[in-house]
Structure 1
Amino acid sequence: MSASIPRSKVNDHTPEMAQARRQFVEQQTNTCLSHVGRYSLPAEETMGNIEHFTGAAQVPLGLTGPILIDGEHAKGEFYVPMATTEGTLVASYNRGMRLLRESGGVKVSVVDDAMQRAPVFAFNDAREAREFGVWVQDNFSEIKKIAEGSTRSGKLRNIEQYAAARMLYLRFNFTTGDAAGQNMVSKATYIACEWIKENYPQALKYTLSGAMDTDKKHSQLNTLHTRGKRVIAEATIPGDLLKSLMGVSPDALLKMRAISQVGNFMAGSINTGAHSANGITAIFIATGQDVANVAESSAAVTYADIDDHGNYYIAITIPSLIVASYGGGTALATQRECLEMLGCYGKGKVYKLAEIIGATVLAGELSLSSAILAGDWVDSHEKHGRNR
């Protein structure tokens, strides 16, 4: 019979229980956990973030910047913490930030905000499903009141309807304040669905998620309709500056982008840019975000052009950036410090964080695209990116 992992029914989040589990796994696997056992965060503060707390996985943290941002919430220069084990990543983003800073900065806008839960209701036939949809529209005000009664910051914006066969999928769209909000909207939608079930004239069957919310996975629906924050970062780079700092011309970079768009299309990619997932993941780890949300958040749409003066205009749209400045892992020790470094910890700061991440992604986009075109992409990884 397999041995059970030690656990306390009274208080499982203590230094003593963490040590007991390390000793247990050392006995079971003959592995020394001397580094896993060295950490500064109080064990009791991990309650609600992890079970069977055993220690900490330490990821190297690098600093990039300053990046100059002209946002509606993030204004001025920021030093951005990035946690990663990929060599050259921090250096690359730092290079892109220098280019943007010397070009006058990045304009960033949060243009939409929505978090979803999408229950599905099943009926005897399609006409019953259609009639139910009309009833939902007629009773939206009451559904909204019931849903919002379960949360202090969540607001039900609208309910989309999608019919298929004898099912009707309802996509509840909420704004969630400074929290990422998945758990918040799940609870609010459940309470609303129970009210619907009790008040609809005939018996109803539903499942709280019919998968059209696409939690932890990308979808074209989110690219069009937004999940989390829809962020657009844009900048105009003087042609001479692009040549002197990056070694590429605006014309060559634009032509390469046109070619890569064809490759993205043929591959069926969810991203027409270079590597938004790199920057987003590194900031997510540093600031205590739910890293699995990178599956959605890394989708991106890039656009570039050259103006009449030979300047290179570039914009990147991130349609599903799921971030929080409050709740979840943001209050853990090192994560909170990183958010405070950005001025983004606590209530009223989530749009500021979203703008900083959008600007950082644009910096990485410029740097990597230029490196590939200039031919120093492989050389840089050989020099800085191989831990032998």
Structure 2
Amino acid sequence: MKVADRIPRNGKTNYTHEMAKKRRDFLTEKTGEALEHTGQFSIDPACLPGNIENFIGVVQMPLGVAGPITINGEHAQGDFYIPLATTEGTLVASYSRGMRVISESGGCKTTVVEQYMQRAPAFIFNDAQEARAFGDWVKANFDTIREVAESTTSIGKLVNIQQWSVAKMRYLRFNYTTGDAAGQNMVGKATLAACEWIIANYQTPTRYLLSGNMDTDKKHSHLNMLGSRGKRVIAEVVIKRDILMRYMHTDTVAMARACVMANTGAMMAGAAYNGPHSANGIASLFIATGQDEANVVESHAGILSHELLDNGDLYLAVTLPSLICATYGGGTGLPTQKECLNLLGCYGKGKANKFAEIVAATVLAGDISLGCAVIAGDWVTSHDKYGRNRD
């Protein structure tokens, strides 16, 4: 059987314009596609090691800006213009509309409540009693385990280790703080060091798997809704009744009733989020700012809360319990992604909580706009008029 030709690589010059072109030419020969637009880019391939392999060019994503939105947070304070990378027509306009309602109502209040990143190894024993004894030993030796784990990182801090027994297995969930990095790789390295120390020092021979899947890496889980993964961040606003009517052509009573119906529907469906569409804003903002786009799976989960106030105004709050984002490391330092973070004043160390607050505020704006569009009957007609590429 003939083996297919391998993709061209060069260990010394793999991240160069020449090697990128060589790979594009190889693909053109194999497939007939010229890759004309893919091969046009302004970034230097030399900045890409650690971000991608077999580099051939870029996928150009349209980038729009929504806003301004007024945020009165602990970390994000002022008016912000939000970069959103998307191919969905009406999305940027819709978010801008929601942001206007928030700003005209005095802005939204944002709070980062807590933040953790996890790695969850599983240990296997001969029976449940051995597994239980191991759990007690881990508790007694936590200080040393923490010291070993933290020796691998300058910013990661081990806060606690949760434990569960199932059959003859003991699942541990290491909870870390990770500064301004998302931290999945960081906590993996730290937990590996801790586990190797554990099996070298525990009196009973044991085997382990570094991830027993209770860290729920890039998977939604109800565990994270309760215990937080990434940042638990909340955005709140009191929408003025007259402002909602002026810009959204509906009133707060109708919106409150719609929230009740939406809550019931989301509960019946078992949805990860009961609001209109948290993933839209998160994904668009993540792509623009160099986040790991797969983290949208975890980050979009949450709760939209509402309360109709006695004066007719409407309190709305978005709670995102597992928002995984970073302003340092990963893709955040790539040229265009860094520019988008700089638009927000969020690039570099000490800015991750600020960025998280901006993400939550963006989700809140999107929910206001889409929710009102559904109530007012504008949802389908707006997409039909503005959201179709007819070429």
The alignment's TM-score, normalised by the length of structure 1, stands at 0.99
What residue is the counterpart of 1:21 in the other structure? 23
User: Residue 94 of structure 1 aligns with which residue?
Assistant: 96
Find 2:170's aligned residue among 150, 168, 193.
Answer: 168
Q: Helix, strand or coil for the counterpart of 1:86? A: coil
Aligned-pair CA distance for 1:244: 1.1
Equivalent position of 2:12 in the other structure: 10
1:238 pairs with one of 213, 236, 240: 240
Distance in 2 between residues matched to 1:335 and 1:328, nearest whole Å: 11
Q: Match for residue 63 of structure 2? A: 61
Distance in 2 (CA, whole Å) between partners of 1:50 and 1:177 is 24
SS in 1 for 2:176: strand
The residue aligned with 2:77 is 75
Following the alignment from structure 2 to structure 1, what is the Cα–Cα distance between the partners of residues 262 and 81?
A: 31
Letter in 2 for 1:90: V
Q: Distance in 2 between matches of 1:149 and 1:109?
A: 31
State the alpha-carbon separation in 1 of the partners of residues 6 and 191 from structure 2: 37
Distance in 1, Cα, partners of 2:57 & 2:330: 18
Q: Does 1:372 align with 2:374?
A: yes
Matches for 1:230-269 after TM superposition, within 5 Å? 230-269=232-271
Residue 33, structure 1, aligned to residue 38, structure 2 = no
Amino acid paired to 1:331 = G
- Structure 1 range deviating more: 369-378 or 5-14: 5-14
| Counterparts of 2:262 and 2:312, CA distance in 1 | 21
* Residue 109 (structure 2) aligns with: 107
C-alpha separation in 1, matches of 2:270 and 2:314 = 27
| Structure 1 counterpart of 2:280 | 278
CA distance in 2, matches of 1:240, 1:97: 16
- In the alignment, the residues of structure 1 paired with residue 297 and residue 225 of structure 2 have an alpha-carbon distance, to the nearest angstrom, of 12
User: 1:347-387: CA deviations, max 9, x gaps?
Assistant: 00000000000101100010000000000000110111100
Per the TM alignment, residue 185 of structure 1 is displaced from its structure 2 partner at its CA by: 0.1
Secondary structure at the counterpart of residue 56 of structure 1:
coil
What is the CA distance between 1:9 and its match in structure 2? Answer: 2.0
Letter in 2 for 1:338: C
Aligned to 1:205: 207
Matched, 1:158 2:160: yes
**Structure 2 residue identity aligned to 1:233:** A
Partner of 1:352: 354
Does 248-257 or 282-291 show the bigger shift? 248-257
**Is 1:226 paired with 2:228?**
yes
Tell me how large the CA RMSD over aligned residues is.
0.6
Amino acid at match of 1:40: S
Map 1:137-152; keep pairs closer than 5 Å. 137-152=139-154
- Residue 384 of structure 1 is matched in structure 2 by 386
Unmatched 5+ stretches in structure 1: none
Corresponding letter in the other structure for 1:280? I
Residue 130 of structure 1 is matched in structure 2 by 132
Following TM superposition, by how much is the alpha carbon of 1:247 offset from its aligned partner in structure 2, in angstroms?
0.9
Per-residue deviation at 1:298?
A: 0.5
Alignment partner, residue 49 of structure 1: 51
- Specify the code of the residue in structure 1 equivalent to 2:256: L
Structure 2 Cα separation of the partners of residues 223 and 41 of structure 1? 38
Q: Say which SS state the counterpart of residue 271 (structure 1) adopts.
A: coil
Q: Structure 2: give runs of 5+ residues left out of the alignment.
A: none
Once structures 1 and 2 are overlaid, which stretch shifts more, 188-197 or 243-252? 243-252
Distance 1:291 1:221 in 2: 21
Q: What amino acid maps onto 2:372 in structure 1?
A: S
How far 1:11 sits from its partner (Å)?
A: 2.4
Distance across 2 between alignment mates of 1:41 and 1:169: 44
> Which amino acid in 2 is paired with 1:304?
H
Q: How far apart, in 1, do the equivalents of 2:296 and 2:35 lie?
A: 29
| Partner amino acid, structure 2, of 1:292 | A
Letter in 2 for 1:206: Y
Counterpart of 2:317?
315
Counterpart Cα distance in 1 of 2:134 and 2:259: 47
* Structure 1 residue aligned with 2:329: 327
The amino acid across from 1:193 in the alignment is C
Report the residue type matching 2:49 in the other structure. Answer: M
Provide Cα deviations, 1:38-58, integer angstroms capped at 9, x if missing partner. 111100101110000000001
The residue identity in structure 1 corresponding to 2:83 is P
Q: What residue in structure 2 maps to residue 340 of structure 1? A: 342
Q: What SS class does the counterpart of residue 18 from structure 2 fall into?
A: helix
The amino acid of 1:213's aligned partner reads D
- 1:116 is aligned to 118
Q: Distance in 2 between matches of 1:34 and 1:41?
A: 16
Instruction: Compute the displacement of 1:308 (Å).
Output: 1.2
For 1:229 and 1:316, locate their aligned partners in 2 and report how far apart those are by CA, in whole Å: 13
Q: Deviations over 1:38-81 (max 9, x none)?
A: 11110010111000000000100000111100111110001110
Q: Which amino acid aligns with 1:183?
A: N
Distance 2:5 2:201 in 1: 50
Equivalent residues, number: 388
